[in-house]
Amino acid sequence: MRATVAEKLPAAADRPIHLTSARRTAILKALADPRRFELLERIAKAGCPLGCAEARAALPISAATLSHHIKELETAGLIDVRREGKFHFLTLRPGVMQGLIAILGALDTDRCPES
Protein backbone atom coordinates (compact mmCIF):
# COMPACT_ATOMS: atom_id res chain seq x y z
CA MET A 1 0.00 0.00 0.00
CA ARG A 2 1.58 3.09 -1.34
CA ALA A 3 0.34 5.59 1.26
CA THR A 4 -2.48 7.50 -0.34
CA VAL A 5 -2.47 11.18 0.39
CA ALA A 6 -6.12 10.95 1.28
CA GLU A 7 -5.55 9.47 4.70
CA LYS A 8 -4.96 12.66 6.60
CA LEU A 9 -6.29 11.43 9.90
CA PRO A 10 -6.43 14.05 12.62
CA ALA A 11 -4.31 13.45 15.64
CA ALA A 12 -3.00 10.36 17.35
CA ALA A 13 -3.78 7.79 14.68
CA ASP A 14 -0.59 8.10 12.65
CA ARG A 15 0.98 4.90 11.49
CA PRO A 16 4.71 4.54 11.87
CA ILE A 17 6.43 5.51 8.66
CA HIS A 18 8.99 3.12 7.27
CA LEU A 19 12.49 4.57 7.46
CA THR A 20 15.52 3.63 5.44
CA SER A 21 18.72 3.23 7.39
CA ALA A 22 20.06 6.44 5.89
CA ARG A 23 17.04 8.34 7.05
CA ARG A 24 17.18 6.68 10.43
CA THR A 25 20.74 7.95 10.79
CA ALA A 26 19.75 11.45 9.71
CA ILE A 27 16.96 11.53 12.26
CA LEU A 28 19.13 10.22 15.07
CA LYS A 29 21.80 12.80 14.25
CA ALA A 30 19.18 15.51 14.27
CA LEU A 31 17.96 14.39 17.67
CA ALA A 32 21.44 13.99 19.11
CA ASP A 33 22.06 17.70 19.45
CA PRO A 34 20.63 18.93 22.77
CA ARG A 35 19.58 22.33 21.52
CA ARG A 36 17.92 20.82 18.50
CA PHE A 37 16.13 18.31 20.66
CA GLU A 38 14.91 21.11 22.88
CA LEU A 39 13.66 22.92 19.81
CA LEU A 40 11.79 19.85 18.70
CA GLU A 41 10.30 19.50 22.18
CA ARG A 42 9.04 23.06 21.93
CA ILE A 43 7.47 22.37 18.58
CA ALA A 44 5.86 19.20 19.86
CA LYS A 45 4.59 20.70 23.07
CA ALA A 46 3.18 23.70 21.28
CA GLY A 47 0.83 21.40 19.41
CA CYS A 48 -0.13 24.15 17.06
CA PRO A 49 2.41 25.47 14.55
CA LEU A 50 5.21 27.30 16.30
CA GLY A 51 6.53 30.59 15.02
CA CYS A 52 10.25 31.12 14.70
CA ALA A 53 10.14 34.08 17.04
CA GLU A 54 8.68 31.93 19.79
CA ALA A 55 11.25 29.26 19.11
CA ARG A 56 13.98 31.83 19.23
CA ALA A 57 12.73 33.26 22.51
CA ALA A 58 12.94 29.84 24.06
CA LEU A 59 16.44 29.03 22.90
CA PRO A 60 19.54 31.10 23.61
CA ILE A 61 20.86 31.01 20.07
CA SER A 62 21.34 33.41 17.20
CA ALA A 63 18.94 33.61 14.29
CA ALA A 64 21.54 32.05 12.01
CA THR A 65 21.94 29.06 14.29
CA LEU A 66 18.21 28.63 14.66
CA SER A 67 17.84 28.66 10.90
CA HIS A 68 20.52 26.00 10.66
CA HIS A 69 18.78 23.75 13.19
CA ILE A 70 15.43 24.18 11.52
CA LYS A 71 16.93 23.10 8.25
CA GLU A 72 18.46 20.04 9.87
CA LEU A 73 15.14 19.02 11.39
CA GLU A 74 13.41 19.65 8.10
CA THR A 75 15.80 17.71 5.89
CA ALA A 76 15.68 14.85 8.36
CA GLY A 77 11.94 14.94 7.79
CA LEU A 78 11.14 15.46 11.44
CA ILE A 79 9.24 18.69 10.95
CA ASP A 80 7.23 20.49 8.35
CA VAL A 81 7.82 24.17 7.73
CA ARG A 82 4.89 26.16 6.49
CA ARG A 83 6.27 29.33 4.95
CA GLU A 84 3.69 32.03 5.12
CA GLY A 85 5.02 35.33 3.90
CA LYS A 86 7.50 36.74 6.33
CA PHE A 87 6.87 34.10 8.94
CA HIS A 88 7.60 30.41 9.13
CA PHE A 89 5.66 27.95 11.21
CA LEU A 90 6.97 24.65 12.47
CA THR A 91 5.08 21.45 13.10
CA LEU A 92 6.04 17.92 13.95
CA ARG A 93 5.72 15.66 10.96
CA PRO A 94 3.28 12.85 11.70
CA GLY A 95 4.43 9.25 11.82
CA VAL A 96 8.15 9.84 11.67
CA MET A 97 8.82 9.60 15.37
CA GLN A 98 6.67 6.49 15.47
CA GLY A 99 8.75 5.08 12.66
CA LEU A 100 11.90 5.61 14.66
CA ILE A 101 10.29 4.12 17.73
CA ALA A 102 9.35 1.06 15.72
CA ILE A 103 12.98 0.57 14.73
CA LEU A 104 14.28 1.04 18.23
CA GLY A 105 11.60 -1.14 19.73
CA ALA A 106 12.51 -3.96 17.40
CA LEU A 107 16.02 -3.94 18.82
CA ASP A 108 15.32 -5.36 22.22
CA THR A 109 12.61 -7.85 21.49
CA ASP A 110 14.18 -11.19 22.19
CA ARG A 111 16.79 -11.85 24.77
CA CYS A 112 18.86 -14.73 26.10
CA PRO A 113 17.20 -16.53 29.04
CA GLU A 114 20.44 -16.50 31.04
CA SER A 115 20.66 -12.72 30.62
The binding site for DNA (CB under 7 A) comprises 29, 33, 35-36, 51-53, 56, 60-72, 81, 84-88
Shortest distance, CB of residue 15 to DNA, whole angstroms? Answer: 28
109 binds, among a copy of itself, DNA, none (CB under 5 to 8 A by kind): a copy of itself
18 binds, among DNA, a copy of itself, none (CB under 5 to 8 A by kind): none
Shortest distance, CB of residue 38 to DNA, whole angstroms? Answer: 10
Helix, strand, or coil here: 60? coil
Distance, in Å, from the CA atom of 38 to the CA atom of 65, rounded to the nearest integer, reads 14
Contacting residues toward a copy of itself, per CB under 8 A: 5, 8-12, 14, 21, 24-25, 28-29, 31-34, 37, 40-41, 44, 47-49, 91-92, 94, 97-98, 100-101, 104-105, 107-115
71 binds, among a copy of itself, DNA, none (CB under 5 to 8 A by kind): DNA
For residue 66, CA distances in Å to 10, 15, 31, 44, 104 come to 29, 29, 15, 16, 28
Distance, in Å, from the CA atom of 56 to the CA atom of 66, rounded to the nearest integer, reads 7
- CA 37 centroid distance within chain: 9
Q: 70, 90 in Cβ contact below 8 A? A: yes
